[in-house]
């Protein structure tokens, strides 16, 4: 029985990852949450795992838990790109475009070549009914796309962030 449990844990720990950009593994979010909690049990200070857990919480609409994980990362590293971007998308989902832009612009200062960050900025500007900046950010995102797969990912990300 112990060997079965150990094999299950190893499988869960090695199976895929999630990022602030919605690149999720094939596992259901509920399983990913367990996976990341187990990893944090072994290393409570792992910022990447906290970011991944936050995004799994985000996808399951557990926004308060997502914010809690992201805030913990940002408390230790205020320039963590994924946590800044992640906090931005959580705030977008909550309908708080103004605060989302604060986090997303901090992320932009760290990496202005991230395709999904420009998508997130576009959605935040759209939320605030700022058509010109929204269009400009979407144009930047599309310019960074390397092919039709990434253009599809842009549309998927917009759907993920929509409150519909």
User: 60-107 pLDDT, tens per residue?
Assistant: 999 999 999 999 999 999 999 999 999 999 999 999 999 999 999 999
* pLDDT at site 9: 46
pTM over 0.85: no
Q: How far apart are CA 27 and CA 123, in angstroms?
A: 27
Cα–Cα nearest to 86, from 153, 22, 41: 22
Q: In which region does residue 77 sit, left (phi positive, over 0), alpha (psi from -120 to 50) or beta (all else)?
A: beta
Give the model's confidence band at 27: pLDDT under 50 very low, under 70 low, under 90 confident, else very high.
confident
The DSSP output letter for 118 is H
Burial class of 53 by CB neighbour count within 10 A (0 to 12, 13 to 18, 19+): buried
pLDDT at position 26: 77
16 has a pLDDT exceeding 90: no
The rounded Cα 132 to chain-centroid distance in angstroms is: 25
Predicted confidence band of residue 129 (pLDDT cuts 50, 70, 90): very high
Tokens representing 65 are 């838990």
SS3 content of the chain, % helix, strand, coil (to 5): 75, 0, 25
């Amino acid at each position: 029985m112990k060997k079965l449990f150990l094999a299950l844990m190893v499988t869960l720990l090695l199976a895929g990852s999630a990022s602030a950009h919605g690149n999720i593994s094939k596992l259901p979010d509920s399983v990913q949450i367990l996976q990341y909690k187990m990893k944090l049990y072994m290393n409570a200070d792992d910022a990447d795992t906290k970011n991944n857990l936050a995004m799994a919480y985000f996808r399951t609409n557990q926004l308060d838990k997502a914010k809690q994980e992201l805030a913990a990362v940002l408390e230790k590293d205020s320039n963590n790109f994924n946590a800044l971007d992640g906090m931005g998308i959580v705030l977008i989902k909550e309908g708080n475009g103004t605060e989302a832009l604060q986090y997303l612009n901090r992320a932009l200062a760290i990496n202005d070549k991230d395709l999904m960050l420009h998508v997130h900025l576009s959605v935040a500007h759209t939320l605030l009914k700022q058509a010109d900046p929204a269009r400009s950010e979407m144009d930047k995102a599309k310019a960074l796309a390397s092919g039709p797969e990434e253009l599809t990912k842009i549309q998927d990300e917009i759907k993920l962030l929509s409150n519909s």
